[in-house]
């Protein structure tokens, strides 16, 4: 059974491999993963089974208005459909809530049915399709969970 823990430096190579495999040309480059590790503290978590990383989630907090963010979520193709994506999201929400966030937001492709299913199941709302959120001319939905 997989366990979910805070990521440590030696996990980053494996996280990068999954990030590339999962997001392909849209993946974060190594320096972004490293810097997210540097600033994300407890909000960078991974699911491991028998020493192998199967998935990860990265969060962040905009402290000025206590807004949490889910910045990335990825599960290796071979480990999908077993509830890991939902468990990682749930765990990250718990960690962000402990930091007194009043809401948690995320962005998702409108066609990403499995991710949207997880987020809706966990109480996220939002279905407005934004045309150019990441300045890449791709469509995204911002979903939000109120946590107070
Ligand atoms: C999204 C992702 C993290 C889900 O990981 P996972 O471990 O397979 O997720 P889970 O098993 O917890 O849940 C997936 C849910 O979606 C459902 N699902 C799968 N394919 C689906 C589809 N085509 N349409 C609707 N629901 C679907 C599953 O039945 C499951 O729901 P359930 O819990 O009610 O059974 C994984 O597919 C992934 O890494 N995708 C690429 C990266 C990505 O899109 N990340 C999210 C960015 S916002």
For 2-58, what is each residue's pLDDT tens digit? 999 999 999 999 999 999 999 999 999 999 999 999 998 899 999 999 999 999 999
pLDDT at 148 over 90: no
What was the pLDDT predicted at 73?
97
What was the pLDDT predicted at 41?
82
What was the pLDDT predicted at 17?
95
3-state secondary structure the chain: CCEEEECCHHHHHHHHHHHHHHHHHHCCCHHHHHHHHHHHHHHEEEEEECCEEEEEEEEEEEHHHCEEEEEEEEECHHHCCCCHHHHHHHHHHHHHHHCCCCEEEEEECCCCHHHHHHHHHCCCECCCEECCCCCCCCCEEEEEEECC
Average pLDDT score over residue span 143-147: 97
Residue 25 CA to ligand 1 centre (angstroms):
20
pLDDT at 68 over 90: yes
Ligand 1 binding pocket includes 58 (Cβ within 6 Å): no
What was the pLDDT predicted at 32?
97
Ligand 1 binding pocket includes 54 (Cβ within 6 Å): no
Delineate the domains of the chain, giving CATH numbers in brackets. 3-146 (3.40.630.30)
For 69-105, what is each residue's pLDDT tens digit? 999 999 999 999 999 999 999 999 999 999 999 999 9
């Amino acid at each position: 059974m997989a366990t979910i823990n805070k990521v440590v430096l030696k996990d980053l190579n494996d996280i990068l491999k999954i990030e590339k495999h999962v997001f392909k040309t849209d993946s974060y480059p190594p320096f972004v993963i490293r810097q997210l590790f540097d600033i994300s503290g407890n909000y960078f978590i991974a699911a491991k089974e028998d020493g192998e990383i199967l998935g990860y989630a990265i969060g962040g907090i905009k402290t000025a208005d206590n807004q949490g963010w889910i910045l990335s979520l990825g599960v290796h193709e071979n480990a999908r459909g077993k509830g890991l994506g939902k468990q990682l999201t749930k765990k990250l929400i718990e960690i962000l809530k402990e930091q007194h966030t009043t809401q948690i937001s995320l962005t998702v492709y409108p066609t990403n049915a499995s991710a949207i299913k997880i987020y809706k199941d966990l109480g996220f709302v939002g279905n407005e399709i934004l045309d150019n959120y990441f300045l890449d001319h791709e469509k995204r939905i911002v979903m939000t969970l109120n946590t107070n």
